[in-house]
Amino acid sequence: MNLRDALRLYLVTDPDLCGPGGLVSTCEAALRAGVKFLQLRDKASSTGDLVRTASELLKLAQAHQCCFVVNDRVDVALAVGAHGVHLGADDMPVPLARKILGADPVIGVSVRTPEEALTAWKEGANYLAANIVFATPTKPDSRSPLGLSGVERLARATPLPLVAIGGISRKNAGAVIRAGADGVAVVSAIMAAPNPAEAVRTLLEELG
């Protein structure tokens, strides 16, 4: 599967939202149901705990032909052999991450403007994330939502695959795709769902 196809439904983890089965079992259910791109996002855990979780998730991803990246932490991605990293505006610059990781790993970058998108593309990013599209409780301190018009502008800015994140649910996922995104990234829509596998199947139906 190519990167653009894998990004169609992109799961971002949140250890505080997952059900009683825990983060790894929630991710396993989602991957079994069809998620092909998984990001480990955990701002609170120690490096040791992150490495342990990343190692477990990488094994799951490999078993289900899923791309696995680590949010922010280039060191953790490198330590476990993850497929790549996702970087925000305040994280390591793309050229330095590329120098550390090498030519093959995937590097995604969160962007808000066409100018930021162009810079990330020129610096060697593999995909972009429109961050954030709709207001979301998982990122309460984020700046104003981009909306569908923001997705349209970013989709036109570069030839890179674009995934939209922030407040995505089955009710608006189709509209985001029609606005030009190649895929949607979700957190609570899957992580907090009573039945993560059913949530994945519903979202995939909406995405077409």
What mean pLDDT comes out for the span 189-205? 96
Band of pLDDT at residue 19, cut at 50, 70 and 90: confident
Give the residue among 179, 189, 190, 124 at the shortest CA–CA distance from 154.
179
CA dist., res. 125 & res. 128, Å (int)? 7
Residues marked active site are found at 41, 110, 139
Which domain range does residue 28 map to?
3-207
Residue 148 belongs to domain with CATH number: 3.20.20.70
User: What pLDDT, on a 0 to 100 scale, did the predictor assign at position 140?
Assistant: 63
Q: Which two tokens stand for residue 99?
A: 């120098």
CA 185 to mean position of chain CA atoms = 5
Q: What is the pLDDT of residues 84-120, one digit of tens each?
A: 999 998 999 999 999 999 999 999 999 999 999 999 9
Q: What is the pLDDT of residue 89?
A: 87
pLDDT per position as a tens digit, 136-175: 776 665 679 999 999 999 999 999 999 999 999 999 999 9
Question: What is the biggest distance separating any 2 CA atoms in the chain, rounded to whole angstroms?
Answer: 43
pLDDT attached to residue 8: 98
Our count of domains for the chain comes to: 1
